Homo-oligomer: A and B are copies of this chain.
Amino acid sequence: MAKYMTKQRRVLMDYLAENADSLLSAEKIAADLEPCGISISAVYRNIAALEAEGKVRRSGKAGSRTVYYQYSAAEECREKLHLSCRECGKTCHMEPREAERLARSIKTHEGFVLDRAETVLYGVCRDCRAGKRVRKKGESE
């Protein structure tokens, strides 16, 4: 997969890199990139390829059947736990030391080996707690 670098693929990758801090649905991506001339199928197919290459991570939002994707630049990214904000949708990495401590703690106490690549912690981020009214597009109170 990914033998040619097509216009669509480049546009998609740029877009994902620029929005590396938020969870994106295939439909949103397609909508935003539609003016660039990229079909929804191309979005899905490229994302699947990027996912296989480890450049994109998929994560479901609690209670939604839509799948969300996010750029996952480096390998190290997958060693980090992700924190996803319910309010603004942004995702950030948890400090490695913290993640490490958490993983160890859970393993010790529960005998459970955490899979950092697949785990996303949900909550409300610092900015949203501070602003408290950072409301994002199409999001009602």
Q: Show the binding face of A for B, using Cβ within 8 Å.
A: 58-67, 78-79, 83, 85-86, 92, 94-95, 98, 101-103, 105-106, 109-126, 129, 136-141
Contact = CB atoms under 8 A, between A and B. Distances in A.
Contact of A125 (B112, B122, B124, B137): B112
Contacts of A102: 102, 105
Copy tally for this chain in the complex stands at: 2
Nearest to A130: B111
A62 B115 CA distance: 11
Given A60-B65, A65-B66, 18 more contacts: A60-B60, A63-B118, A65-B65, A78-B138, A85-B112, A94-B106, A95-B109, A110-B126, A113-B124, A114-B121, A114-B122, A115-B124, A116-B140, A117-B137, A117-B139, A118-B122, A119-B120, A119-B122
B113 A106 contact: no
